[in-house]
Amino acid sequence: MNGDWLLRGRDGRLCVYQPSGDAILCRAELGPDGPWEAPRRIGGDQKLRPGLAVGAGADGYAHLVAWRPTGRGQSGLVHSTHFRPRLAPLDWSPVGHPDKKGARTGMPAVAVDAQGRAHVFVRNAGGGMSVLAQKEKGGWEPWQDLGGADVQEEPAAVTGESGLVELYAAADGVLLHWRQEKPGARPVLDARTEATVRPGTLRALATSTEHTTLFFTDRFGTLCAWRPGGAPVPLVAAAGPGPAAAVRCVIEGHDCTLLGQRSADGRVAFAAYPTEQEAAGAWWTESGPAVTDDTELALAVDETDRVVAVTLSPSAGRLLLTRRKDEPGLALRAWQEV
């Protein structure tokens, strides 16, 4: 999965999106702090290929994008909107292919601008990035080629506090950054920096009114942070091989960035530091039971501003959750199966 697959809806309820075979399921809280409803399949009998992208806007609406088979060796992208966790998402709607037709080209990414328009990013057959943007009054603009070459399969899309959409992607020895210059504009490539990135480790987060920050693991196994305009900053040795989840939260009255990652020991590790102050350093603390190698982690903040962490293990079929305790520091409750 790519993006924030644990989201807080506009009604305050948390919702999880998870793959299950050739389908995507959603589960929502029935009330504050649970319990949770049973899984529901999105879009009826529509069969999907592996890979789900999720993004949400300031309006709390979730936008989901996935590939579906359209013929022998052919795929096309489909989109669904989920307006509220307790409601059923809309059916999957075809949105095309960056090359008009062809095979799956990469993992999509989704960001939603201040006007509530979803922007779908995906690698094209030429090895660059393409974007498909919603119109403000319905429908979609034509696909646009954003350039780039030999980009890795999984980009990271994010919406800044300005409401403008940004995109990060890794290529051979370089990180690339695209940004909208004004609402509704085509994102343009505005920054690049030398970096050797471990594939599948990009994670972007809005960290101030001026900046978004990209987290990634380099070839030495170091978790780094990059803000366009500067150089990547080594933060801490990566806890494990996969991508880091990230969320901003308040700890002891300070704006902090909390990172989470499945550790090499098979547990979940957390590290926090003052937002955009990487020089302060960060240290991992492991939590919870051992998880499987395919476990993915997501972080969010609930309606009471408590951090919530969820792990999903497709092979074990388990969804585990913990919340921050109502006490100083970052103490977490015992992990429980949802």
Structure tokens at 105: 């080209």
Distance of CA 78 to the CA centre of its chain: 17
What pLDDT was estimated at residue 32? 86
The share of the chain scoring above pLDDT 90, in percent, equals 93
Query: 269, 296, 292: which is closest to 282 by C-alpha?
Result: 269
What pLDDT was estimated at residue 68? 97
The 10 Å Cβ neighbour count of residue 289 is 12
pLDDT at 170 over 90: yes
Residue 124 confidence class, pLDDT cut points 50, 70, 90: very high
pLDDT in tens, 22-55: 999 999 999 888 899 999 999 988 999 999 999 9
What pLDDT was estimated at residue 136? 86
Query: 196, 157, 198: which is closest to 178 by C-alpha?
Result: 157
Rounded CA-CA distance 18/131 in Å is 24
User: Taking residues 266-294, what's their average pLDDT?
Assistant: 96
**Burial track 265-286 (b if 16+ CB lie within 10 A, e otherwise):** eebbbbbbbebbebeeebebee
Mean pLDDT of the chain: 95
Residues 6+ apart with CB under 8 A from 54: 1, 2, 3, 4, 5, 7, 17, 62, 63, 64, 65, 110
What pLDDT was estimated at residue 328? 83
Residues 6+ apart with CB under 8 A from 269: 239, 240, 260, 261, 262, 263, 284, 285, 286, 287
Query: 120, 92, 122: which is closest to 106 by C-alpha?
Result: 122
What pLDDT was estimated at residue 28? 96
pLDDT at 177 over 90: yes
Answer for the pair 194, 174: CB distance below 8 angstroms, yes or no: yes
pLDDT at 94 over 90: yes
pLDDT in tens, 137-165: 889 999 999 999 999 999 999 999 999 99
Answer for the pair 119, 129: CB distance below 8 angstroms, yes or no: no
- DSSP letter for 154, please: -
User: Taking residues 1-21, what's their average pLDDT?
Assistant: 95
Structure tokens at 110: 């989704």
Maximum pairwise Cα distance, the chain: 56
**Burial track 118-150 (b if 16+ CB lie within 10 A, e otherwise):** bbbbbbbebebbbbbbbeeeeebeebeebebee
